[in-house]
Structure 1
Amino acid sequence: MKTSRRKLAAMAAGAAIAPLVTVVLPATSAYAHGYVSSPLSRQAQCAQRIVQCGQIQWEPQSVEGPKGLQSCSGGNGRFSDLDDDSKPWRATSVGKSVTFSWTFTARHATRDYEYFLGGRSLGKFSAQSSSHTVNLGAVSGRQKVLAVWNIADTGNAFYACVDLQVQ
């Protein structure tokens, strides 16, 4: 009899606490995942308040959208500031190759990473490494690279644009 009362009391306590936990935990934690931190991506610049942006400044790791997009915002309207090329994005000076490093706040099974310049593929990496060295080819001057982290077990990817000054 005592065992069943304890079980009933534990279940009641759990039911009473569940709504509180839902309210106390920040909603963004479920969406927190990853972004390019070096060279500074647009969302990293927003998070560091280098460029004034909207909601992305509080969750740079959350630029998630369906695979196959070519937008800095990942098609997410809340983060449309990232698509605005007229903002004063800082461009990192680089040579003909650059190493992109990702920061992860929650891991996912990775299918691959892709890098694009003007819609043209610069490379695809299936290694589980968080850094990838990409050859930029014959381009020079100011360039915008789209970095994509394709998730293996969902139809989504994470997107980051990085502004570069190629020497």
Structure 2
Amino acid sequence: MTIHSNGCYLLSRRRLAPTSRAKNCADGAVQNCGQIQWEPQSTEGPKGFPDSGPADGKLCSAGLAQFAELDDQRGGAWPATQLSSGQSYTFRWHLTAPHSTTDFKYYITQQGWDPNAPLTRSALELTPFLTVPLNGSRPANDVAHQGTVPDRTGRHMILAVWTISDTANAFYQCSDVTF
């Protein structure tokens, strides 16, 4: 197995996060995940979201075929982090190799999205509810971003995007949440 040392993942429930699909696979909380179980930090794809980046339906895998299992909604069977509408929340990342960073942005699905359909731009609020600018600085290995989650009810998805400033890529992590 290959472990890339240049990526990231949202941390497990024990440390808040919310837990990403990739981390759930790496922790064994979800089975039949393919390669992502050994490479939860490797969801790296083209930057520029939402104007460019991975194609619709392939956002959770960062457009990488070897991680396509992350794009499968599994009929809502992914573990979900419980949140309350409008609550303050600490989003935590573990970066296996911090990079010069443009920013971290957090997007959430619109009320009424179809949680059984592949994640698309049209399902997301395309204005991030939290942006953490780093302006080219290099973050620590473990970072935390305090923000307020939007008002929602039911099951939703948070797409977190870590944009690297000195490459053409960004890292994409999807986390299932319920309100």
TM-score where L is the length of structure 2: 0.72
- Which residue is 1:162 aligned to? 175
Identical counterparts, % of pairs: 41
Aligned pair partner of 2:153 in 140, 150, 153: 140
Q: Does 1:63 align with 2:63?
A: no
**Higher-Rg member (1/2):** 1
- RMSD after superposition: 1.8
CA shift for structure 1 position 36: 0.9
Mapped partners of 2:160, 2:147: distance in 1: 11
Task: Identify, as 1 or 2, the structure richer in strand.
Answer: 1
Structure 2 unmatched runs, 5+:
12-16, 110-123
8 Å contact from structure 2 (residues 2, 38) kept in 1 = no
Letter matched to residue 164 of structure 2: I
Listed one character per residue, the Cα deviations across residues 105-159 of structure 1 (whole Å, up to 9, x for unaligned) are 1111011001111221212111447111232222122110000000010110001
Q: Does 1:46 align with 2:53?
A: no
- Which residue is 1:35 aligned to? 9
Listed one character per residue, the Cα deviations across residues 9-47 of structure 1 (whole Å, up to 9, x for unaligned) are xxxxxxxxxxxxxxxxx7533x53111112211000000
- Which residue is 1:82 aligned to? 70
> What is the number of equivalent residue pairs in this alignment?
140
8 Å contact from structure 1 (residues 32, 59) kept in 2 = no
Mapped partners of 1:133, 1:140: distance in 2: 21
Aligned pair partner of 1:93 in 82, 85, 91: 82
- Which residue is 1:112 aligned to? 103
Listed one character per residue, the Cα deviations across residues 50-82 of structure 1 (whole Å, up to 9, x for unaligned) are 111110000100000001236111111111111
8 Å contact from structure 1 (residues 93, 165) kept in 2 = yes
Task: Identify, as 1 or 2, the structure richer in helix.
Answer: 1
Q: Which runs of 4+ in 1 moved over 3 A?
A: 26-29
Aligned pair partner of 1:126 in 133, 158, 173: 133
Structure 1 unmatched runs, 5+:
1-25
